[in-house]
Amino acid sequence: MKRLYMMFGLPASGKSSWIKESGLPYISADEIKESYDDYDKGSPQRVHERSVLQAERQFDERIATSNDDFCFDGGGINNNYTARMVQTAKESGWPVVLVHVDTPLAICLERNEARERHVPVDEIISKAVRLQRCLEVLTEQVDHVITESYYTHKHVFFDMDGTLAAYQFLPKSVEGGINFVDGEYFRHAKPVPQMIRHAKNFGPKGGAYDYIKPKFFILSAIPDSTCCDEKREWLARHCPFIPVENQYFIGNKRYKHEMLRNVLHKRKINTKDVLVVDDDHAVLDDLNSIGVHAVHPSMFLCMEN
C-alpha cells in the first residue's frame, strides 16, 4: 500500500539524513530553494516562501498521480500547513506516517552552527517551543507515528533517594547535623515499586534493536562510607538487576555530572547512549549540560519501552 511519510522535527535534527537512509523519493523545500539562482546560503529566508509553494505544488502532483511511497520534508512544526498536507493526502486515499526525528534542541543548535546554511537561532528556538503541542495535534491526524530518537538509552543510570527509593525527611539534631550512623536511613528506605518495575522492564520491545538490552547503573550521593554499605545492601535486596560493579556513589550530588563524565570516559560509553533518571532539577540541568539525556522520575515513568 502506498504511504506518505511526513517528516517532523527541528531544523538540523536529522530529517534529511533519515530520508536519504530510507532510500525513498522525497520532496524538500530546502533542496528546492538551493536550486534557485538567487539563493544565498547566508539568507535562505529570502526564497523560503517561494520554495514552500513549489514544494506544495510538487506534493499535490505526486499525491494525484503516483502510487509509490514518498517522503515530504516540510519540518512539520506548522500545524496549519502540515495539517493541510495531511488532509490532502488522506482525502486521496494515502495512509500518512509521521516520522518524528527527536533530537535535543542543544544538539540542533550545535549542528546548525556548523552548517553553511544557517537557520536563524530564534527561529529554531521558536519551533522548539511549539514542537510538543504540534506533535500532539498531528498525532491525532495521521495513521501512524515513528519516533527516531537521538538518544539510544543503552546505558541507564538511576539516582536512589527520591527515585528508586522513597524520599525521606531526616531529623536534624539541635546542632543541625544528621546521625546517619545510628539512623540506618538508607538501609530501611522504602522502595518505589512503580519505578523499580518500570526500570526492570525498560528497553526495546521488538523492532530493529530488539537485541539491545540496556545496562543499568546507579549514580547516587552518600554522606559517608556507612551509607555506602547501606545503599549497596538495599540495592542487593530491591534491585538485584543492577550489578555491584555498576554502582557509583559520590559525596556531593552537585558533582554528579563530573563523575558521570569520568565514568563514561573510563568505560568508553557515548553520551548519546545514556539516560539518567534523577529527581533533583539542578542536578538534571548539570547532567544535560554534558550531553546525556537526563530526566525526572515522572518523565521516566511516561517513557514507553
Query: How do residues 208-254 score in pLDDT, each as one tens digit?
Result: 444 568 999 999 999 888 889 999 999 999 999 999 999 999 999 99
Cell numbers placing 197: 518495575
Domains 4-149 and 155-302 share a fold: yes
Nearest of 9, 123, 102, 139 to residue 293 by alpha carbon: 102
Q: Are 118 and 4 in contact (CB under 8 A)?
A: no
Q: Are 155 and 293 in contact (CB under 8 A)?
A: no
Domain residue spans in the chain?
A: 4-149, 155-302
Query: How do residues 123-172 score in pLDDT, each as one tens digit?
Result: 899 999 999 999 999 999 999 999 998 999 999 999 999 999 998 877 77
Query: How do residues 55-96 score in pLDDT, each as one tens digit?
Result: 899 999 999 999 999 999 976 677 677 888 899 999 999 999
Query: How do residues 45-58 score in pLDDT, each as one tens digit?
Result: 777 788 888 989 99
For residue 173, what are the contacts with CB-CB under 8 A and spacing of at least 6? 179
**What's the Cα-to-Cα distance from 197 to each of 3, 44, 164, rounded to whole Å?**
37, 49, 10
Return d(Cα 108, Cα 218) in angstroms, integer: 29
**DSSP secondary structure letters along 96-115:** EEEEEEE--HHHHHHHHHHS
Nearest of 273, 260, 58 to residue 159 by alpha carbon: 260
Q: What per-residue confidence (pLDDT) applies to 207?
A: 47
Q: What per-residue confidence (pLDDT) applies to 75?
A: 64
More confident residue, 15 or 208: 15
* H or E element at residue 74: none
Q: Against a cut of 0.95, is the pTM above it?
A: no
> 4-149 belongs to which homologous superfamily?
P-loop containing nucleotide triphosphate hydrolases (3.40.50.300)
Nearest of 276, 257, 254 to residue 265 by alpha carbon: 257
- Indicate the CATH number for domain 155-302: 3.40.50.1000
